[in-house]
Amino acid sequence: MNRFEGPGSREAKIRYLDGDFQVLSPGSYVLCAVTSEKIALDELRYWSVARQEAYADATISLERELEMNPSLRQRSKA
């Protein structure tokens, strides 16, 4: 049995805050907004407060930020 199986293996509902998050509905994981990968709550490190989205890792978080704010990509080239 993996960590997402069993009676507590449902998606949590989360309110993402600056530097923290609040569990609104209990569960063992959230889904990455980009890849739909399950992220265990104790491994959740990357999210967007503005979009209320979770991300599986830093690379995915950055890619999503650049996708949603293309002007940021232009700044890095200047």
Q: Where are the domains of the chain?
A: 13-77
pLDDT tier, 1 (very low <50, low <70, confident <90, very high otherwise):
very low
Residue 2's pLDDT is 52
pLDDT tier, 75 (very low <50, low <70, confident <90, very high otherwise):
low
Q: Are strands 20-25 and 29-31 parallel, antiparallel or unpaired?
A: unpaired
Q: What is the pTM of this model?
A: 0.82
What does the pLDDT look like over 29-38, one tens digit per residue? 999 999 999 9
**% of residues, the chain, pLDDT over 70:** 85
Cα–Cα distance, 21 to 41 (Å, whole number) = 10
E strand or H helix at 59: helix 58-68
b/e per residue, 20-59, with b = 16+ CB within 10 A? ebeeeeebbbbebbbeeebbeeeebebbeeeeebbbbbee
Least Cα distance to 38 among 68, 72, 9, 75 occurs for 9
